[in-house]
């Protein structure tokens, strides 16, 4: 299991790097899908199979489909790659990478001191549900409120505005 964990982690890091560095937006999304799948694999190896499956269904299976959908709708082609080339100057990525190195060193320091185990106990879907609707009920309700707000906004934007149209005429 530990080999699978480290392998998945390695792939996750590599594919995330690939996502940031690739100039072609669809290739970037492909790297992102691989990265999400490898994170799901990490969840599987540490015993959180439910979280891993949800990661695959929700992120890799639905949200990224939407991203690719938008990329296909826009179908930007070579112009974007030219723009991306001008974006990735050393000047722009030095500060973000310094900040990331800071975060990484912090993470390494924490892991060094505590020796967190790579393999935990198996968490079933039932336990996740009980935790979500027990101590974390407020977070669930807040998240659903945000989703409801997004839904209302999307509905409003998608609606045909008959009043405005009649005024325009």
Partner 1 sequence: MLILIAILKALVILISVVLGAAILVFVERRLLALWQDRHGPNRVGPFGLFQLPADMLKMIFKEDWTPPFVDKIIFWLAPAIAMSALLISFAVIPITPTLGVIDLNVGVLFFLAMGGLAVYAVMFAGWSSNNKYALLGGLRSAAQTLSYEVFMGLSLMGVVAVTGSFSLRDIVIAQKDVWFIVPQFLGFIIFFIAGVALTHRTPFDAPEAEQELAAGYHTEYSGLKFGMFMVGEYVAMVVVSAMLVVLFLGGWQGLSWLPNFLNPPPIIWFMAKMAFCIMIFILLRGALPRPRYSDVMIAGWKVLLPLSLLNLLITGAVILYV
Residues engaged in binding partner 1 (CB under 8 A):
24, 26-27, 30, 33, 40, 49-50, 52-54, 56-57, 60-62, 65-66, 68-69, 71-73, 75, 124-125
Q: Give the nearest distance from C-beta 136 to partner 1 in angstroms.
A: 20
Cα dihedral 128, 145, 154, 129, rounded to 10, equals 10
DSSP-assigned states of every residue in 42-102? HHHHTT-HHHHHHIIIIIIIIIHHHHHHHHHHH--THHHHHHHHHH--HHHHHHHHHHHHH
Q: Give the nearest distance from C-beta 115 to partner 1 in angstroms.
A: 29
Task: Give the C-alpha separation, 34 to 64, whole Å.
Answer: 11
Q: Give the nearest distance from C-beta 69 to partner 1 in angstroms.
A: 4
Decide whether 97 or 144 has the Cβ nearer to partner 1. 144
Decide whether 6 or 69 has the Cβ nearer to partner 1. 69
Decide whether 57 or 94 has the Cβ nearer to partner 1. 57
Q: What CA–CA distances, in Å, run from 89 to 3, 55, 81, 85, 157?
A: 37, 33, 14, 8, 37
Decide whether 49 or 93 has the Cβ nearer to partner 1. 49
Q: Give the nearest distance from C-beta 47 to partner 1 in angstroms.
A: 11
Q: Give the nearest distance from C-beta 163 to partner 1 in angstroms.
A: 23
Angle between helices 64-74 and 25-45 (to 10 degrees): 180
Decide whether 78 or 165 has the Cβ nearer to partner 1. 78
């Amino acid at each position: 299991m530990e080999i699978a964990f480290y392998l998945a982690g390695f792939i996750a890091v590599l594919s995330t790097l690939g996502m940031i560095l690739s100039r072609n937006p669809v290739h970037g999304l492909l790297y992102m899908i691989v990265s999400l799948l490898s994170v799901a694999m990490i969840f599987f190896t540490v015993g959180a199979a439910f979280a891993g499956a949800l990661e695959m269904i929700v992120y890799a299976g639905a949200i990224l489909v939407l991203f690719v959908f938008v990329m296909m709708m826009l179908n930007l082609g070579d112009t974007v790659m030219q723009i991306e080339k001008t974006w990735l100057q050393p000047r722009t990525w030095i500060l973000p990478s310094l900040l990331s190195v800071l975060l990484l060193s912090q993470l390494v320091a924490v892991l060094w001191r505590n020796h967190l185990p790579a393999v935990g106990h198996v968490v079933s879907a039932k336990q996740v549900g009980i935790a979500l609707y027990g101590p974390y009920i407020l977070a669930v309700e807040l998240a659903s409120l945000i989703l409801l707000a997004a839904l209302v906004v999307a509905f409003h934007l998608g609606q045909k505005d008959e009043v405005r149209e009649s005024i325009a005429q």
